[in-house]
A and B are shown apart, each in its own frame.
Chain A
Amino acid sequence: METADARLIDAQGLDAVIAVLGELGYDTRGPVVRDGAVMPGTVTGVVDLPVGYHDEQAPGHYQLEYRGDNTVFAWAVGPGSWKAELFPPTQELWRATRDGGDLTFSEPDADYRPLALIGARPCELAALDVLDRVLRDGGTPDPHYRARRDGAFIVVAECGVPAATCFCTSMGTGPGADVGFDLALTELDDGAGHRFVVRVGSERGAEVLAGVSSLPASPANLEGRRQVLAAAADATTRQLSVDGLGALLARNLDHPRWDEAAQRCLACGNCTLVCPTCFCSDVRDTTTLTGEIRRQRSWASCFDLDHSYLHGGPVRATTSSRYRQWLTHKLSTWWDQFGTSGCVGCGRCIAWCPVGIDLTEEAAAIRSTDGAVRPGAAPGRVSS
């Protein structure tokens, strides 16, 4: 996105942006501090955002610290993602009532109050793009996702302070954002004060910004933005080597590393549910005592035994085969299916794995021993 038309606002200006969105009827959602983490919540002004909070993240570790400074976006993503706003954990699809032999069906309206996502990070924008390909732009669009997504107004907050779990630079998804937003903020907190460079990404973004008092961003402000992003990129030390990664994993389905990961893996499913792109869901029909039938969709995980349950039993009975499913889907077969990576490098699955399993480390281990085969694996036949 061009930076020529960029504007400059201060914290009051950001308050005004949020207020304008509220007046326009948006349900203004953004990062808030709840229960010791940055989580999605309702935001009606800057005061609701994580002002003065900083995070420390590592495999299996997350800690929030309040330092009381005036920074608003000096933290990296928490466990909640915008996936939950657009693709909620449970969704009723339809219900039917019986009257004698007749069934009467009804569907819930896909008529949602438009969302404004304030302070989404660049990797989260990339995740929405990945989800769009699956849930909106593919052969069978999900009407509820589409309704929520198409109306959503997005204010992205570029990253200045990545966590040790972030690897967006490897995935090309951050720390800056080029497309996919209505407004983009870059927080500057230097000798000249605390402001935000604002770039406009859409017509409605321009309309919202026009309702707020702002200044043109100076060349020095733009240089400030460039430096913030460069420093953030330098501070992103975790790496995932994506060169030929899909093919690498595809030819190592019998690598001993899967069993090693399975020794530690709890098959708890946390990684898949915190992942902003995992879209698996389970559709179940239930009946009530009065004979009403309900079809409900709920989040599911490939770490569930049920996920691969076919007639007679689960296809992926071992944790090893389920860990392999997760990693190969994210980094390899997603490309075949949707033409992108299934991973955007947000690092959530690393921080929120209770035992700290790190997919970048797993992928690197396989790369360093490409072609190794676990004992007893039958050539040409993938074991489960």
Chain B
Amino acid sequence: MSNHNELPTLAVWKFASCDGCQLSLLDCEDELLTLAGVVRISHFTEMSRATTAGPYDVSLVEGSITTPADVHRIQEVREASRRLITIGACATAGGIQGLRNFAASGAYAATVYAHPEYIASLDTSTPISAHVDVDFELHGCPIDRHQLLEVITASLSGRRPVIPGHSVCQECKARGTVCLLVSQKTACLGPVTRTGCGALCPAVGRGCFGCFGPADTANTSSLAATLRHQGTPAIELSHLFRTFNACAPAFLEESVSQGGPVPVTRGRPPTPTSGEEGR
């Protein structure tokens, strides 16, 4: 094994998120020691307090941008990173907290916090790619750890990661799951959702929730027309498209078409909330 100090460096960064995606890295139990032998983990506070200054060869970025401070911090992370990879629905699409984009977030803060004046947050939750250049986006809520290892391995060896952009349906067919949409009339987002989970939900009789966001080609309006025809009310469809990837463009547009509220910031740039002003 080469001298530890000569190994490529890996950093893991957290923005607005639940930590589930970074934990996927710790979940790679069998491969973790091997990984630690081929990279120097320089910054990963879920794992160790010890951090080393950049630059970093590979940065994994979890979470979305929701505070004025993070708008600046992501710039620093970008500058310190040779290759920046965003992981998870928060970082790639704004995450479940992107639901704030459809309502005045100041009202939420006033309901939830005793002293909302201490909360410094933006009106919106936005993906990392809205702020800095991103070298690769790994989707999922949470991401799949095998895909994560593949992206890291590919980055280290300088090849293109083998991460398909096609529908969940193809994974259903490959594992021999009987289609729920056709045989049970279950509302399923699989035909417009990116694969990556291994088609987990249909395999246990649940329609796809769209955790991995829109597939490369996502004809959401045609799917929505069929699901409505099969009896799913528009409002439920709007909710179905509006979960972890609510602000991914294809899902956002469809949820609006099905009657969901439009983003409050549509037509105006993001502005700081009252919390920010009150600081």
Residue of A nearest to B177 (CB): A35
| Contact, CB under 8 Å: A303 / B179 | no
B167-175, B241-249, B265-273 - the one binding chain A = B167-175
Q: In the complex, what residues of B have CB within 8 A of residue A286's CB? A: 150, 153-154, 162
Q: In the complex, what residues of B have CB within 8 A of residue A268's CB? A: 167, 169-170, 190-192, 215
| Contact, CB under 8 Å: B153 / A352 | no
A266-B183 contact, Cβ under 8 Å, with A80-B176, A304-B216: no
| Contact, CB under 8 Å: B219 / A273 | no
Q: A331 near B: Cβ within 8 Å?
A: no
Q: In the complex, what residues of B have CB within 8 A of residue A263's CB? A: 222
Contact of A352 among B35, B179, B188, B216 (CB under 8 A): B179
Which residues in window 138-178 of B have CB below 8 A to A?
149-150, 152-154, 156-157, 159, 162, 164-167, 169-170, 173-178
Q: B3 near A: Cβ within 8 Å?
A: no
| Contact, CB under 8 Å: A287 / B157 | yes
Q: In the complex, what residues of A have CB within 8 A of residue B35's CB? A: 289
| Contact, CB under 8 Å: B181 / A354 | yes
B95 to chain A, nearest CB (A): 25
Which residues in window 18-35 of A have CB below 8 A to B?
34-35
Q: In the complex, what residues of B have CB within 8 A of residue A60's CB? A: 182, 226
| Contact, CB under 8 Å: A355 / B173 | no
> What bracket does the count of chain A residues touching chain B fall in?
35 or more
Q: B132 near A: Cβ within 8 Å?
A: no
Q: B217 near A: Cβ within 8 Å?
A: yes
Residue of B nearest to A265 (CB): B219
Q: B31 near A: Cβ within 8 Å?
A: yes
Residue of A nearest to B160 (CB): A284
Q: A79 near B: Cβ within 8 Å?
A: yes
Q: A290 near B: Cβ within 8 Å?
A: yes
Contact of B34 among A64, A89, A289, A305 (CB under 8 A): A289
B30 to chain A, nearest CB (A): 11
A352–B176 alpha-carbon span in the complex (Å): 13
A62–B185 alpha-carbon span in the complex (Å): 9
A287–B154 alpha-carbon span in the complex (Å): 7
Residue of A nearest to B173 (CB): A273
A85–B154 alpha-carbon span in the complex (Å): 31
A339 to chain B, nearest CB (A): 28
Residue of B nearest to A61 (CB): B182
A319–B217 alpha-carbon span in the complex (Å): 8
Q: B96 near A: Cβ within 8 Å?
A: no
| Contact, CB under 8 Å: A319 / B219 | yes
| Contact, CB under 8 Å: B38 / A289 | yes
Contact with B along A272-304 (1 / 0, CB 8 A): 011000000000101111100000001101011
Q: B223 near A: Cβ within 8 Å?
A: yes
A269-B170 contact, Cβ under 8 Å, with A36-B184, A62-B182: yes
| Contact, CB under 8 Å: A264 / B222 | yes
Q: In the complex, what residues of B have CB within 8 A of residue A34's CB? A: 178
A265–B150 alpha-carbon span in the complex (Å): 31
> What bracket does the count of chain B residues touching chain A fall in?
35 or more
A136 to chain B, nearest CB (A): 22
Contact of A266 among B176, B178, B179, B219 (CB under 8 A): B219
Residue of B nearest to A274 (CB): B173
Q: In the complex, what residues of B have CB within 8 A of residue A40's CB? A: 176
A289-B31 contact, Cβ under 8 Å, with A62-B183, A266-B167: yes
Q: A129 near B: Cβ within 8 Å?
A: no
A304-B182 contact, Cβ under 8 Å, with A266-B222, A355-B223: no
Q: A93 near B: Cβ within 8 Å?
A: no
Q: In the complex, what residues of A have CB within 8 A of residue B183's CB? A: 35-37, 62-64
A39-B179 contact, Cβ under 8 Å, with A268-B170, A299-B170, A354-B226: no
| Contact, CB under 8 Å: A273 / B170 | yes
Q: In the complex, what residues of A have CB within 8 A of residue B164's CB? A: 304, 306
| Contact, CB under 8 Å: A303 / B222 | no
Q: In the complex, what residues of A have CB within 8 A of residue B31's CB? A: 289
Contact with B along A250-270 (1 / 0, CB 8 A): 000000000000011111111
B228 to chain A, nearest CB (A): 12
From B176, B179, B191, name the one whose CB has the most chain A CB atoms within 10 angstroms.
Answer: B179
Which residues in window 201-235 of B have CB below 8 A to A?
205, 215-217, 219, 222-223, 225-226
Residue of B nearest to A314 (CB): B216
| Contact, CB under 8 Å: A79 / B179 | yes
A157 to chain B, nearest CB (A): 21
Residue of B nearest to A291 (CB): B157
Q: A84 near B: Cβ within 8 Å?
A: yes
A301–B216 alpha-carbon span in the complex (Å): 13
Q: A218 near B: Cβ within 8 Å?
A: no
| Contact, CB under 8 Å: A306 / B165 | yes
| Contact, CB under 8 Å: A287 / B153 | yes
A37–B222 alpha-carbon span in the complex (Å): 25
Contact with B along A25-69 (1 / 0, CB 8 A): 000000000111101100000000000000000001111100000
Apart from A268-B192, A286-B162: 12 A-B pairs, beta carbons within 8 A? A39-B178, A79-B182, A266-B219, A267-B167, A273-B173, A287-B153, A289-B38, A304-B166, A304-B170, A352-B182, A354-B191, A355-B222
- Shortest Cβ-Cβ A-B pairs, 5 listed: A89-B174, A273-B173, A268-B191, A267-B217, A266-B191
Task: Enumerate chain A interface residues (CB-CB to B < 8 A).
Answer: 34-37, 39-40, 60-64, 78-80, 84, 89-90, 263-270, 273-274, 284, 286-290, 298-299, 301, 303-306, 319, 351-352, 354-356
A selection of 11 A-B contacts at a CB cut-off of 8 Å is A39-B176, A39-B178, A90-B174, A273-B174, A284-B162, A287-B159, A289-B31, A289-B34, A289-B38, A299-B170, A354-B169
